Structure 1
Amino acid sequence: MVRKSEKKWIFPFTRVQAVCAVSGFVFYIAMKLVFGSGGRELSEGAGLKRAGPGQGESTYDVLVSGLDKDNEDKRVPVKIPVRERKYSEEEARELFQKIQPELTEQMLGENESLEDVRGNLNLKGSLGEYGLRIIWESENPQVIDAFGIVHNEDIPEEGKSVWLRARVTDGSYERQFEFKVTVYPASLTREQRAADDFVRWIGQIDLKQQTEDRLSLPPVYMGERLTYFQPEETDYRILPVLGILLAALLPLKGEFDRKNQARVRERQLLFDYSEVVSKLVVYMGAGLTVRGAWERITAGYKDGVKQGKRSVRPAYEEMVKTAAQLGSGLSEGKAYSEFGRRCGVQVYIKLSALLEQSQKNGSRQLRPALELEMVSAFEQRKNLAKKLGEEAGTKLLLPLLMMLGVVMVMIVVPAFLSFY
């Protein structure tokens, strides 16, 4: 006989898993053989590659032998910083000639050309792909500022020319470009132009009434009578859509409520089953008949509900209906069968079948069968309680995750803000 302490646990290990594990070791040994345990040796003249212009400094981890005079073969780890590459004078000259058309095209923004500018320009502060910085200057910041914002509210119809200068540099070499920009008034529809004229006119009236508590709106403008309205603060057009949506979802809600009520009722029936069976066993063990035990249970339930000691339970309500049927002259077998059908749960159908069978074959074997059913019912109730506890724990996961998110925000946001 093998003792428990001598048992060996054998974990299943498939062929694919074995191949994966062995492959990992094979690749490890191969890399060690190729590159060695101390890393790949740099060939003479290979050097360390610089980052491109504008990409910043690079740092390399290198093992250097020969630094330790006592042990020349010892490899000392060193971090070597390598500055970014700079353009040569010829490269910078060619690059400045190349970027001028690109710079002209990108600064247009949504405008068609620099001879017809009606919207804001796109004046970038750098050309990242080339590692170049750009400093913009405007001859007339009141019309176009250094950020490319166009102020064309008071520009005449014939337009106004402004010179923009761009100083482009890579840190060592610099080139200046000049662009002539002609600014025109913004393209407005007839309605927008009329509104702008009206706003300017009413602005003059506002200056005259500045000492008054409120601005008196003029009733007439250019010979036309005016009527003023305040726009609706809330758009109510969504309400009909919501009404139709609710009407469509109402049947679904009713069906959901019915299913939820049926689920709650079934759960209550399962909870009460062990109690019903145990009471039948106790009363029948005291010498009462099945009908007498049934009527005693229903009477105790009705008294408890009347006195407020018990809540309404579906299993006992169905038993009360069955007791009323028995009182009205319905046969016991038929009444018990109807009880199981109304409950609609498998364990109650089984109980009603046992009671109905006892009416046909006698009640000699009924009490032992009910005792076995009682043991099974208590086991089912214990499993149901365990299941409900697990469901409650699962429902708590969402609040816990929300609290975790709040904690993460409280920790991460100050950490990010400390970098600025």
Structure 2
Amino acid sequence: MKWRFPFTKIQTACAVLGIALYAVMKLVSAAGGQMVSEGGGLKRAGPGQGDTTYDILVSGLDQENGNRKIPVRIPVRERQYGNEEVKELFQRIQPELIKQMLGENETLEEVRENLNLKSSLGEYGLRISWESDNPQVIDSFGIIHNEEIPEEGKQVWLMARVTDGHYEDRYEFKVTVYPASLTQEEKLAANFLQWINQMDAKQLTEDRLLLPSVYEGNRLTYFQTEKADYRVLPVLGVLLAALLYVKEEFDKKSQAKIREQQLLFDYSEVVSKLVVYIGAGLTVRGAWERIAAGYKEAVKQGKRSVRPAYEEMVKTAGQIGSGQSEGRAYSEFGRRCGLQAYLKLSTLLEQSQKNGSRQLRQALELEMVSAFEQRKNLAKKLGEEAGTKLLLPLFMMLGVVMVMIVVPAFLAFY
């Protein structure tokens, strides 16, 4: 008795990936054990990074069974700066604070844009709180209010309190705020807007704001800006045309492939029907017309769907009925189908018209055996293709699962 492997490709892939996941987890676990035993301690997180908890197996706690491993969850607090270390750090970070807070400004002596007042220095684990002696000009978030600042500028003092949770230091920065830098166009718009605001205040009782027709001796004309940008529409049109062309080509190839599969599936059925009708005493033409008529009636009654092989047979029967020679009609049938199997069938039928149909039934019976074998192989091939298409989403899901398990395991030890 021949033994067959019981797993499909998908089942085999699941088993292999499960074994691989087990091996990775064992390596991670082994790496963690070496870190504790050889390092002699548990690594602390850096200052400001929070506490770390380790799940450790400890042997030797049980006096009766010294080899017994007892699970213990050990919390390890974050590292703290030493006295000398924090003093040196607070002296060193002042230039970094200035560089960070400048934002888009070049110096603190000329500030026209918002400052970048962060609440922490993450790489050092330090927290920062800001205070301003004039929040109407610069608030504690670094927002600049320079709409009414004079051209000579205005000075504001900012104070930063920096702490690591145990030590604290203070820094003071003198900032000179100037009006925002405006282009000539922006200055003209700002002056005009200021004048419009004055007119708006005078017309508050009216149902609409009447825009002036003359400003500083110049006649004004108003246009409403476009609310949408339509320049993208031509690009979208061209892109859509290209995508439609690609879709049409893809649909043509897909329809051609489906037609070929349907022709191959129906070939064994067509040959077997010809064998049955010719064996019953009908001529080749009679058998052909009987098959075509039966198909048309079944489609009319909705008992079966449209199939390309039978549609070509119906067309061939019509050609024969209109006076075309049987040999030529069968030959054209094979060319229209375009597959090797149908070309062979058309050749057999065409030769039977020339040499007689004495050996035709025997040849069709041999062809029928071959056709059923081809149909079985095609069904097997389509099944394998369907299974292969399922592998991609399967691998993606297993990859996500592996990342969800392995990454936290690695992070727990580092």
Counterpart position of 2:147: 153
CA drift of 1:143 comes to 0.6
Which of 220, 233, 236 is equivalent to 2:230?
Answer: 236
2:367 to 366, 373, 379: 373
Do structure 1's residue 170 and structure 2's residue 152 form an aligned pair?
no
Structure 2 residue aligned with 1:349:
343
1:358 aligns with 2:352: yes
Shift of 1:252: 4.2
Q: Could you give the per-residue CA deviations for residues 221-269 of structure 1, whole angstroms, max 9, x where no partner exists? A: 3332322222223322223223444555565444334333323332332
- Secondary structure at the aligned position of 2:98 is classed as helix
CA 64–219 in structure 1, closer or farther in 2 if over 3 Å, else same: same
Q: Who is 2:284 aligned against? A: 290
Quote the Cα distance in structure 2 between the aligned partners of 1:230 and 1:63: 77
Selected match of 1:332 from 326, 335, 345: 326
**Equivalents in 2 of 1:265, 1:76: separation in Å?**
68
Secondary structure at the aligned position of 2:263 is classed as: helix
Aligned twin of 2:270: 276
| Rg (Cα) greater in structure | 1
- The answer to whether the 8 Å contact 1:62/1:80 transfers is no
In the TM superposition, what whole-angstrom CA distance separates every residue of 1:374-403 from its partner, at most 9, and x where no partner exists? 34434544555666677778889999999x
Shift of 1:155: 1.1
| One-letter amino acid matched to 1:354 | L
| SS of aligned partner of 2:226 | coil
Cα deviation for residue 112 of structure 1 reads 0.6
Over residues 278-298 of structure 1, what are the superposed CA-to-partner deviations in whole Å (9 max), with x where a residue is unaligned?
322222122111122223333
In structure 2, distance between residues paired with 1:335 and 1:245: 45
Cα pair distance change 1:269/1:78, threshold 3 Å: closer
Post-superposition CA distance 1:70-128 (Å, at most 9, x none)? 78998876555554444444443333222222222221111110000001111122223
CA contact (8 A) 1:64 1:78 kept: no
Distance 1:194 1:125 in 2: 38
Query: % of aligned pairs identical?
Result: 75
Question: For the aligned residues, what is the CA RMSD?
Answer: 4.1
1:16 aligned residue: none
> Cα–Cα, structure 1 residues 115 and 283, in superposed 2: closer, same or farther, change >3 Å?
same
Q: Does 1:189 align with 2:202?
A: no
The one-letter code sitting in structure 1 at the alignment partner of 2:249 is E
Q: Which runs of 5+ in 2 are unaligned?
A: 4-22, 402-414
Contact 2:108 / 2:176 at 8 angstroms: preserved in 1?
yes
1:311-343 superposed Cα distances (whole Å, 9 cap, x missing partner): 554323322333344345544333322221121
CA distance in 2, matches of 1:359, 1:254: 42
1:367 shift after superposition: 1.4
Please tell me the residue identity of whatever aligns with 1:333.
G
Equivalent-residue separation in structure 1 for 2:258 and 2:191 (angstroms): 70
Q: Secondary structure at the match of 1:180?
A: strand
> Unmatched 5+ residue regions in structure 1?
6-23, 409-420
Give matches, 1:280-319, under 5 Å.
Answer: 280-302=274-296, 312-319=306-313
| TM-score relative to the length of structure 1 | 0.72
Structure 1 118/376 Cα, relative in aligned 2: closer, same or farther at 3 Å?
same
